[in-house]
Amino acid sequence: MSRARALVLLALAAAAALPASASAADPSNVPAGVSAGGVDLSGATLADAQARLEAAIAPRVNADLVLGAAGRPFALKAADAKLTFDSLTTAKRALRAKAPGDVGLKLTHSRLAVRAFVAGVAAKVAKPPRNATVRITLTHIYRRRAVHGRALDQKTVAAQIDAALDDGVAAPRHVHAVLQKVSPKINANDLARVYGTVITVDKAHFKLRLFKRLKFFKAYSVAVGQPAYPTPSGLFHIADKQVDPVWSVPNSPWAGELQGTTVQGGSAANPLKARWMGIVNGVGIHGTGEDYSIGSAASHGCIRMHVADVKDLFPRVPVGTPVLIR
């Protein structure tokens, strides 16, 4: 074999070993009818195509996206969304296009940044629902109706913003969010169940009233605390219940020789007769052996009842029952 023939064969073998991408160079001009983001790039060189895209597309891509929610505009800047437009890669797509048409834009943004933006808007436009509740007075219980709240559907809105940023130019840069209605947990129809039992104590008139399902049910005459040992005022709840309660005598001079001791339930020395419904700080509702004291300010803070009355009241009142004392 001649030296010239050997060199030719070596050259052919080397060419065959080269990858197809290296052996085939990109076209020098964009094919006719090819565009990107609506910008016609027909016949442009790579540098020309990139320059056209920078001039026509970059300003539109970098425009703020405005989210409308609760009648207020909230702007998301392209920089905050970490939105970038790769004009060089887009131009290369156009250059390598095999058929006329739009090759799309090379865009990227941070979905995490979008979700953070949406969460911030959601916090500003949200209104929590207000449960229905009651206003308790000594003689009546009034209903307060529930109010619905509102909230932003963060997942849906974030997806809409992602789509607008991914599109780049065709999609509008205004997204309108319809707020969702948030229902309260307790409605007016639930109040009779939630406040199934309520007690009020009218100290001025020595009257205990029992309400069932928000309606007056029964009244009892009672005794309340002496001026020196007043029955506390406020809204409390029944904390505990006992039958024939043990009396833990307070360390107070009025208790005499019994102070600091414990007196068993049912004992003649125990002033807590028959039943006990504890309220707060050692104050409660109980039966008394001093029936003459009913209708006066005679106790050391507790609410006294006739034994028959406290036995009647006791099974009607669950632990947790609201007690208004005024």
Answer yes or no: 286 catalytic. yes
Q: How far apart are CA 251 and CA 249, in angstroms?
A: 7
Q: For residue 73, give the H/E element and its range.
A: strand 72-76
As given in the structure block, the two tokens for residue 204 are 């001025």
> Phi, psi (5° rounding) for residue 211?
-115, 135
As given in the structure block, the two tokens for residue 300 are 């050391």
Answer yes or no: 300 catalytic. no
Burial of residue 28 (number of CB atoms within 10 Å: 0-12, 13-18, 19+)? exposed
Catalytic residue among 148, 237, 286, 306: 286
Catalytic residue among 109, 140, 237, 302: 302
Q: How far apart are CA 307 and CA 313, in angstroms?
A: 10
Exposure pattern of 104-123 as b/e (b: 16+ CB <10 Å)? ebbbebebeebbebbeebbe
Give which of 129, 115, 121 is closest to 70, Cα–Cα: 121
If one counts every other C-beta atom within 10 angstroms of the C-beta of residue 54, the result is 15
At CA 145, angle to CA 141 and CA 149, rounded to 5?
Answer: 150
- Which amino acids are annotated catalytic? 286, 302
